[in-house]
Structure 1
């Protein structure tokens, strides 16, 4: 038998361990209490907690949301600062629970705006539910359950569907006479992406120096933590690619080099203690001098690109984007479709005819007759050419005449 008469004290959520929540949803669960003997209880409370802090100083955590308070009799939740749900109210008197299993359900209305859960090197954003059992002349019994919050970031907005472009140039001056101008122009079709998508990178690298240069591209994640006036940043490369060297006095084009986004967390842009930003960085390594760097902002979202609606605008913007860069041209005159005989061979036509119209062995259709010869004669004849003049004018013998004439 467990000491103090409590055999088990467990907190469960309605959603499993892999379930996540978003702002404005209702979080439901239950507290399971199993007593081995008659148990005297003073109060039972459940608190909703959300904290963010630096990993080096856990005591400097900052609360992100308010708990909910609900009297046991009313059964309704009201948002109040720094309070919790009382499943068994503390009235000054103890309540005796009989031996056995007891279940106490609870429910919280999450605030409409919540920051996405995050675990980083210098800090984190965590959400949890904590249940506390208060008994007279006994230490409090506690149970905690951590849950995940994912704030949706929809990339189907005009700002995130707009193309991003930039141009940089640098004059190389080195002691071993590597002089010249290096220019870099980069463009991508939109700003917002989701994990698993491919970023087509369009770039133009013009090497005006006397030595080869090496272009590279990468997706960089920047974590910014702010607590008690201090500010720390951590940068990490989550995806990268390396291009071919560009020779002296040469120019090269990237016509949609693929850069796939790995499974990473979404962008966090509206939190006062934590920011998670992404950027596409394209740089050119120049021997003997500092690199030429161009950075385009990215937003990693959770809602993927819709196949309809915004897709049409994305396709049209991509078409204009290709035309601006000279990567695609519109045909001046549409080509005529091919002849049927050029696409389908004679053997395929015969096989198709046999499958559609199987010949019965006992019937003699007389395929050597004049009717079959007529079909073979006009099998692949093209349609007659259009002419404003009738090539076969009606003869005078068949012109209708008036009955009175």
Structure 2
């Protein structure tokens, strides 16, 4: 028998997203095929598939300890999220064992299916950073007797879904700051900055609507700006390493002395970036929107608003509710409905009622000689107008204090405090 050669070994996934990439989440099933192409007959001891997911951090720091010596410290940390192994051909055997029971692959293409489930837990999102990464992959190994194994590794993407349609991420973010510029013998007026965004959670591809107000009372020409930053934090051996990167920015118009500038929903687009990573113990990815005033020859006046970049976009109903709430809050309007009027608010109508009743009594005294039926008609008309007046009014607020106390009760209460308050005493 003429022994053949392994021409190709590849791993293919069955499920791909709209970008033709293998992307999964916690609890999903990952399935695919291992394709082996051989020319001639090839004896195979085993074909194994291993799936792993690891978050890894690594960086090095050097310190001088003397004139000609240096001390180097390595910081490494690793967290494992996935480990799965399956044998598609053969069994686990000693590499130097007998060649009995080998599997022969004839010339051509051979496909072997595999599948496994991701753990039902919060997995860290796939990420590539300067000092660390979160990677998931499937590795296939073809073992043959007396030869080196053939290996191939194929990575896949894992997303830990973050739904921005939660009350915490739909809440508006706002703040304000003020700064006064001064030097040795002079001081200029303050620079004030206030900024607000509609919510805390966004997804890549969205645009952040920035509402800001800048007032320049200083003697310098300043420029309002906004920037979106990504902060990567890595932890190892009780120490942290932080990297900040600019993601996107925008610039306003120069603002001379004594002028103000308003941003009525100025848009800052979010480019394709990694979602926020908040649950991994050794890697964190966070975002901040920084609205600031660029002050020449001085420290900038900045305002930082934290953001969360999620994976599940905003629902239509949540968008309308958030936009309405944000607009009402920005305009200083109350979102709570107006309370119904109290008894005190109805005192005018009560006085009108009393005048109506007194008028009816005077009318009876003056027109005693009129017919009794006509008097009854007038009383019914007055009562009808009084009922109609209060038909559509809301009920008054409940109060334990009687707005119309009985005169006897008032006198009694006053007599308890001061005996000479009541004439009867």
- TM-based fold match above 0.5: yes
**CA-atom RMSD in angstroms:** 2.8
Q: Quick check: 1:53–1:227 contact (8 Å CA) kept in 2?
A: no
| 1:136-155 correspondence runs (5 A) | 136-155=145-164
Q: Which residue of 2 aligns with 1:117?
A: 126
Would you say the 8 A contact 2:54–2:82 is kept in 1? no
Contact 2:41 / 2:105 at 8 angstroms: preserved in 1?
yes
Q: 2:81 aligns to what SS in structure 1?
A: coil
**Residues of 1 paired with 2:77 and 2:266: CA distance?**
43
Please state how far the C-alpha of 1:293 moved relative to its aligned partner: 1.2
Distance in 2 between residues matched to 1:59 and 1:282, nearest whole Å: 35
CA distance in 2, matches of 1:285, 1:315: 29
Partners in 2 of 1:4 and 1:60 — Cα distance?
44
* 8 A Cα contact 1:4 1:138, kept in partner: no
Q: Which has the larger radius of gyration?
A: 2
1:298-317 superposed Cα distances (whole Å, 9 cap, x missing partner) = 11112111113x23421331
Distance 1:299 1:242, change over 3 A: same
Q: Counterpart in 1 of 2:294?
A: 285
Superposition pairs for residues 4-403 of structure 1, below 5 Å? Answer: 5-16=5-16, 17-54=20-57, 60=76, 62-68=78-84, 84-87=85-88, 88-90=90-92, 94-100=101-107, 101-112=109-120, 113-175=122-184, 177-308=186-317, 310-324=318-332
1:125-166, Cα deviation, whole Å (9 max, x unpaired): 221100112222221111111111222221111011111011
Q: Measure, in 2, the Cα distance between the counterparts of 1:185 and 1:15.
A: 47
Deviations 1:100-144 (A, max 9, x none): 343221101012322211122332222110011222222111111
* Deviation, structure 1 residue 59: 11
Provide, for residues 311-356 of structure 1, a one-character-per-residue CA deviation record: whole Å limited to 9, x for no partner: 3421331231232299xxxxxxxxxxxxxxxxxxxxxxxxxxxxxx
After TM superposition, give the deviation of residue 294 of structure 1 in Å. 0.7
| Alpha-carbon distance between aligned partners in 2 of 1:313 and 1:233, rounded to the nearest angstrom | 36
Q: TM-score, normalised by structure 2?
A: 0.66
Superimposed CA distance per residue, residues 185-244 of structure 1 (whole angstroms, 9 cap, x where no aligned partner): 111111111222221111122223223322111111111122344422221221111112
Aligned residues: 310
Query: Unpaired segments of 5 or more residues in structure 1?
Result: 69-83, 327-405
Question: What residue is the counterpart of 1:368 in the other structure?
Answer: none
Q: Distance in 2 between matches of 1:43 and 1:218?
A: 54
**Contact 1:51 1:61 (8 Å CA) reproduced:** no
Q: Which TM-score applies when normalising by structure 1?
A: 0.69
| In structure 1, distance between residues paired with 2:326 and 2:177 | 22
